[in-house]
Amino acid sequence: MTEEIIIAGFGGQGVLSMGKILAYSGVMQNKEVSWMPSYGPEMRGGTANVTVIVSDERISSPILNAFDTAIILNQQSMDKFEKTVKPGGLLIYDPNGITHHPTRKDINIYSIEAADEAGKLGLSKVFNMIVLGGFLHLKPLVAPEFIHKGLEKSLPARHHKLIPDNERAIDIGKGLLKPLQVLN
Amino acid sequence: MGELRLMKGNEAVAEAAIRAGCDGYFGYPITPQSEIMEYLMSEKPYETTGMVVLQAESEVASINMLYGGAGTGKRVMTSSSSPGISLMQEGISYMAGAELPALLVNVVRGGPGLGTIQPSQADYFQSVKGGGHGDYKIIVLAPASVQEMADFAKLGFELAFKYRTPVMIQSDGAIGQMMEKVELFDPIPRRTEEELIAQCPWAATGKPKNRDHIIITSLDLDPAGQERVNLKLQAKYRQIEEKEVLFEEISCEDAEYVFVAFGLSARICQKSIDMARAQGIKVGLFRPITLYPFPTKQIAALAKKVKGMLVVEMNAGQMIEDVKLSAGCSVKIEHYGRFGGIIPAPDEVVRALEKQIIGG
């Protein structure tokens, strides 16, 4: 099993940390992982993206231009990454702020209104974990106990008090997915 | 099994240096390698192992601090990225001349000039062909993963002291910035003064009454003396070329074609192999791990077995010169490169193989 994922949105949405928590959970389950961020001028322009690969085998290229899953959190990222999903692959997006919705006919598409829900529940800090929860519901790459360990490892000790909120957010995410196009 | 962590390449090389018993780090910040010193400063090894971590006033100062530290037999290291490594070349040549061991890390970015902060492999010539003046070589290790960033810090110190030579880890911005699973080796204690004096009789550790002064220098104004220095260096390089070559072959057993690539390019080629083999193209990968000493004999042997070689590099064609010198004219050898911080995609490399080697 190898899952190649792009996570993309604005800087500050927790794109890189979502990827890191997923990758660290994979390490805890002794899977091979790679986490390749955009950095430098691209990041300083306000958008952020990260390629995460979780695999049972040695990972070849950490840099990819086609993905099994795209998790998209703003319009620029939709414009850039909708076309990079492999046929039959998965696109998950938060419709908040999206004006041009995805139009591909050959991929599975789900929306997740994570920003809205996070705002309502006062969980804005863990908005990214709601999205991750939705993704893990569709693709259970790592078991929940390893997600817990991944959170412990990737959050600094002073933020460990937020782990219950993070786990609650992951649970909430599972219920927020809306299937928009599901291929047979 | 050692401790498992998810780390950036830059963090892994820094943690591994502490664990390898490094005595001192001297450096100056530059993207994309600043996390090396940031990690060392946050880990504060000066409070645990006693390792010095110092931000120097410049790259020139850093490399000369290394000269001083190495001259006393200490395990010392620096790191920088391409423009900063250019500034260090004078010091590296002096260290090679004075036979001083040290670990240098170059997290390469696109050039020439100030260039870009994105990953590149355009410093191959500088590292391998002697970026400074004089007839010298340094051992160059090319990691292709975060794990190797950690492992090569330890190996680098071992080779540096075995041969009394600077050793460079030539990485790139992507391997420095990306995170992967790392299994960390158990810490090796820093050497005590007594151990150091016993293991490094050449080091300037203070003059006891029963021996002469030890003078660390790269200067000998007598040409006959300077020729002897050169002959000694050349004999050492022949020994390194004989004993220290490292390489990896992937899917080469039945290969009709091979990619030759190091570092990040080799990782990309592994994906290209999967894609090409799915189309029925029998391609493998030859990955030099030591760029100096270069795996000349192994490339020569491989060249006799295959129909063509595509050298894939993130530069305009540098390692291809060594591949051609190794292989001779026995087989078709072409180069595919991207420059200035652009990383080739795996499918792009397959198309280059089809166009330049198979169809060409």
What number is the ipTM of this complex?
A: 0.91
> Scanning the structure block, which residue is given the tokens 């290229």?
A61
B80: three-class secondary structure by DSSP? strand
CB contact under 8 A, A60 and B181: no
Nearest to B178 among A60, A62, A153 (CB): A62
pLDDT at A38: 83
| A136 conformational bin, left if phi > 0, alpha if psi -120 to 50, beta if neither | alpha
Report the mean per-residue pLDDT for chain B: 97
Rounded to 10 degrees, what is the CA torsion of A50, A55, A57, A62? -10
| B113 conformational bin, left if phi > 0, alpha if psi -120 to 50, beta if neither | left
The token duo for B176 is 């420095």
CB contact under 8 A, B174 and A62: yes
**B3-193 and B247-358 agree in CATH topology:** yes
Q: What does the radius of gyration of chain B's CA atoms come to, in whole angstroms?
A: 21
B248: three-class secondary structure by DSSP? strand
Nearest to A33 among B116, B180, B271 (CB): B180
What's the CA gap between B320 and B312, in Å, rounded? 8
pLDDT at A43: 55
Q: At A164, phi and psi to the nearest 5?
A: -60, -40
Every domain of chain B and the residues it spans = 3-193, 247-358
CB contact under 8 A, B5 and A27: yes
CA-nearest residue of chain A to B4?
A: A27
CATH number of B3-193: 3.40.50.970
> Looking at CA atoms only, how far is residue A100 from chain B in angstroms?
27
* Sequential pLDDT tens for chain A (184 residues): 999 999 999 888 899 999 999 999 999 999 999 999 986 555 555 789 999 999 999 999 999 999 999 999 999 999 999 999 999 999 999 999 999 999 999 999 999 999 999 999 998 989 999 999 999 999 999 999 999 999 999 999 999 999 999 999 999 999 999 999 999 8
Rounded to 10 degrees, what is the CA torsion of B166, B171, B172, B176? -110
Nearest to B274 among A34, A41, A60 (CB): A60
Question: By C-alpha distance, which of A117, A62, A55 is closest to B173?
Answer: A62
Do B30 and B170 meet the contact criterion of CB atoms below 8 Å apart?
Answer: no
Which residues of A touch chain B, with CB atoms under 8 Å apart? 20, 23-24, 26-28, 30-37, 39-41, 59-66, 153-154
Helix/strand/coil (H/E/C) assignment for every residue in B311-330: EEECCCCCHHHHHHHHHCCC
| Residue B302: partners with Cβ closer than 8 Å, 6 or more residues away | B249, B252, B258, B286, B309, B327
> Scanning the structure block, which residue is given the tokens 């005590």?
B192
CB contact under 8 A, B117 and A27: no
CA-nearest residue of chain A to B270?
A: A60
CB contact under 8 A, A61 and B180: no
Q: Which residues of A touch B343 (CB under 8 A)?
A: 63
Report the length, in residues, of chain B.
360
CA-nearest residue of chain B to A26?
A: B181
All domains of chain A in start order, with CATH: 2-181 (3.40.920.10)
Question: By C-alpha distance, which of B104, B106, B126, B108 is closest to B117?
Answer: B108
Neighbours of B221 (CB within 10 A): 6
Question: By C-alpha distance, which of B201, B110, B128 is closest to B166?
Answer: B128
| Residue B198: partners with Cβ closer than 8 Å, 6 or more residues away | none
Do B142 and B289 meet the contact criterion of CB atoms below 8 Å apart?
Answer: yes
Helix/strand/coil (H/E/C) assignment for every residue in B1-18: CCEEEEEEHHHHHHHHHH
Q: Which of A176-180, B67-71, B180-184, B326-330 has the lowest mean pLDDT?
A: B326-330
pLDDT at B225: 96
pLDDT at A39: 65
> Scanning the structure block, which residue is given the tokens 């192992």?
B49
pLDDT at B1: 75
What's the CA gap between B188 and A2, in Å, rounded? 36
Question: By C-alpha distance, which of B309, B338, B318 is closest to B140?
Answer: B318
> Scanning the structure block, which residue is given the tokens 């209104």?
A113
Q: Which residues of A touch B5 (CB under 8 A)?
A: 27, 153
| Residue B193: partners with Cβ closer than 8 Å, 6 or more residues away | B205
pLDDT at A46: 72
Q: Which residues of A touch B181 (CB under 8 A)?
A: 26-27, 31-33
Q: Which residues of A touch B274 (CB under 8 A)?
A: 60
Residue B34: what residue type?
S
Q: Which of A22, A35, A155 to mutate to test the interface with B (most CBs of B within 10 A)?
A: A35
Q: Which of B109, B114, B172, B181 to mutate to test the interface with A (most CBs of A within 10 A)?
A: B181
Q: Which residues of A touch B270 (CB under 8 A)?
A: 60-61
CB contact under 8 A, A61 and B31: no
What's the CA gap between B338 and B276, in Å, rounded? 20
The token duo for A174 is 């599972």
List alpha helices for A2-126, DSSP H: 15-28, 41-44, 75-81, 114-121
What's the CA gap between A130 and A18, in Å, rounded? 10
CATH number of B247-358: 3.40.50.920
> Scanning the structure block, which residue is given the tokens 């979502």?
A18
CB contact under 8 A, B267 and A35: no
What's the CA gap between A29 and A52, in Å, rounded? 15
Q: Which residues of B touch A60 (CB under 8 A)?
A: 267-268, 270-271, 273-274, 346
What's the CA gap between B170 and B156, in Å, rounded? 11
Do A5 and A20 meet the contact criterion of CB atoms below 8 Å apart?
Answer: no
Q: How many CB pairs under 8 A join A and B?
A: 77
Which residues of B touch chain A, with CB atoms under 8 Å apart? 4-6, 31-32, 116-118, 173-174, 177-181, 264, 267-268, 270-274, 343, 345-347
Q: Which of A18, A63, A147, A152 to mutate to test the interface with B (most CBs of B within 10 A)?
A: A63
Nearest to A35 among B4, B178, B270 (CB): B178
Inform me whether the pLDDT recorded for B101 exceeds 80. Answer: yes
Do B170 and B141 meet the contact criterion of CB atoms below 8 Å apart?
Answer: yes
Q: Which residues of B touch A32 (CB under 8 A)?
A: 180-181
What's the CA gap between B17 and B355, in Å, rounded? 44
